[in-house]
A and B are shown apart, each in its own frame.
Chain A
């Protein structure tokens, strides 16, 4: 069972790695976007699925990292990835620490409200103060460079190289999180989600665990936001907005909470569906109303697949066990 999943994982990884050799540039970029959103969705799943913390303000980290990159980049030249990425992640960690000290004292619907409120505050900062460049945002004329001793290690301007760069990061994030969740820290988190009161009685400082995962989650969302800003070549306040927070939450729920691959799958299906449903060539004037079809799809999943798309395989297994 265990080796079967790692073989499956390896095959998926291989297929993704080979895709740029056959796919057109548009599709290679689209899949890169999917993978970036998969990092974003997995980061939120750490909160929603593994810690029972439903955040409606996760875009704050996504957007913050993007804006940090945009502000650090020289006007027409490339920023250094070595400095801008750590700084973007550090900003997200600091924001998570500051807000976490407050939001993690709330729970349930109040947690949703307070995370949303903090994200809206950040939206205001970048929308309405000189820090952000208003509703038009800021352009990035060049992608950050990965330099070592005067030579560029990766030509990230090349859409394929960028794709592989992102693929490597998704794989690394997935594997590291898998390990982390299977280690003491992850077990404790799942215990806290299941019964926080008992965890405290057993001697766990549950607040510190929650703060830890909140910061990690924020930093990974920041990584996704940094990559997204890099890919699109601009940032604007939309990436901080509650629409973005809502979309990533839908991805996690769609894919199945509490399974990392589910969150990634949710991102995949969500972005592709959005792309297909809003395709004018295929759906003509109806394409404008793609959100309607998306809504119906989400409702259908919620009704028929309560454990999300990732639950499909699990449910089949369960049926085989009980009937076979």
Chain B
């Protein structure tokens, strides 16, 4: 197989006495969706935070296209082409939907010599923001204030903001949580359409969605990797059956 674009090696994160992520290794490839599943508190979000630079690892390395990310700031990692969405919606509540995405798109265009040009007049930025909103199915709500959106719509916006930065690697932390079936369908389709050109890590409790899009599957429990492989391998794994899949599959857990 081709070189992975992102490779986490023996990553650990300790919060005081608690080891939230324990010696986890994982690879992401362009053209593949790597699903990360596991019960609540397994350390999935913490792992995402390590990869995105929101948290510094206690141990281990992250190689991204030849660069070691460990200890790098979140903003630099973002500029290298790694984007993420948050499980707990993390948007600019007071701004319009469009401005949320516009700000995300603007981060790719930093021209110091244009300090007096109206922000709304950068057409390339506007276009990218619009495209991101269309992709997640939120174009009709562009002028609404983010705080006034329904929970599901805020989840859509969360993903649109990640898209607007045009990342190569997408880390999606429970993108479908809180969405209705129609929005979920849109996002699953979106993930499918992005797969060819991106490397995607998908954290999700909705097993139908996971098995619909995942090329590889990693199961985490208590901060550790319980199993990793193709979906059918993992599905057949007895330990996983007992520990996780058996009880959770189809339960619609949030």
* A203 close to chain B: CB less than 8 A: yes
* Shortest beta-carbon distance from A195 to chain B in Å: 5
Query: Roughly how many angstroms separate A184 CA and B74 CA in the complex, as a whole number?
Result: 20
Question: Are A187 and B106 interface neighbours, CB within 8 A?
Answer: yes
Given contacts A194-B94, A195-B90, contact A202 B107 (CB under 8 A): yes
Say which residue of B99, B104, B122 sits within 8 Å of A202 (CB atoms). Answer: B104
Question: Are A184 and B119 interface neighbours, CB within 8 A?
Answer: yes
* A185 close to chain B: CB less than 8 A: yes
Say which residue of A179, A182, A204 sits within 8 Å of B107 (CB atoms). Answer: A204
Interface members, chain A 179-211 (any B CB < 8 Å): 179-180, 182-188, 191, 194-195, 197-206
Question: Are A200 and B106 interface neighbours, CB within 8 A?
Answer: no
**What 1/0 flags go to A159-197 for Cβ under 8 Å of B?**
000000000000000001001101111111001001101
* B54 close to chain A: CB less than 8 A: yes
Question: Are A183 and B79 interface neighbours, CB within 8 A?
Answer: no
* Shortest beta-carbon distance from A174 to chain B in Å: 14
Query: Roughly how many angstroms separate A202 CA and B91 CA in the complex, as a whole number?
Result: 11
Question: Are A201 and B103 interface neighbours, CB within 8 A?
Answer: no
Question: Are B115 and A203 interface neighbours, CB within 8 A?
Answer: no
* Shortest beta-carbon distance from B101 to chain A in Å: 10
Given contacts A203-B165, A204-B107, contact A191 B52 (CB under 8 A): no
Question: Are B90 and A198 interface neighbours, CB within 8 A?
Answer: yes
Residues of chain A within 8 A of B52, CB atoms compared: 201
Query: Roughly how many angstroms separate A234 CA and B247 CA in the complex, as a whole number?
Result: 80
Question: Are A197 and B75 interface neighbours, CB within 8 A?
Answer: no
Q: In the complex, how many residues of chain A place their beta carbon closer than 8 angstroms to a beta carbon of chain B?
A: 23
Question: Are A183 and B119 interface neighbours, CB within 8 A?
Answer: yes
Question: Are A198 and B115 interface neighbours, CB within 8 A?
Answer: no
Question: Are A202 and B118 interface neighbours, CB within 8 A?
Answer: no
Interface residues on B, range: 35 or more
Interface members, chain B 99-138 (any A CB < 8 Å): 99, 102-104, 106-111, 114-119, 122
Query: Roughly how many angstroms separate A176 CA and B116 CA in the complex, as a whole number?
Result: 8
Given contacts A180-B116, A186-B119, A203-B78, contact A198 B107 (CB under 8 A): no
* B244 close to chain A: CB less than 8 A: no
* B84 close to chain A: CB less than 8 A: yes
* B161 close to chain A: CB less than 8 A: yes
Residues of chain A within 8 A of B107, CB atoms compared: 199, 202-204
* B73 close to chain A: CB less than 8 A: yes
Query: Roughly how many angstroms separate A191 CA and B90 CA in the complex, as a whole number?
Result: 12
Question: Are B115 and A202 interface neighbours, CB within 8 A?
Answer: no
Given contacts A184-B122, A194-B94, A197-B90, contact A202 B103 (CB under 8 A): yes
Question: Are B78 and A185 interface neighbours, CB within 8 A?
Answer: no
Query: Roughly how many angstroms separate A77 CA and B117 CA in the complex, as a whole number?
Result: 42
Question: Are B78 and A191 interface neighbours, CB within 8 A?
Answer: no
* Shortest beta-carbon distance from B132 to chain A in Å: 12
Residue in B52, B104, B111 with the greatest tally of chain A CB atoms within 10 Å:
B104
* Shortest beta-carbon distance from B107 to chain A in Å: 4
Sample of 10 A–B contacts (CB below 8 Å): A180-B115, A183-B118, A184-B119, A187-B102, A188-B106, A199-B107, A200-B78, A201-B54, A202-B75, A202-B161
Per CB-CB distance, the 4 closest pairs between chain A and chain B, nearest first, are A203-B78, A203-B107, A200-B74, A187-B119
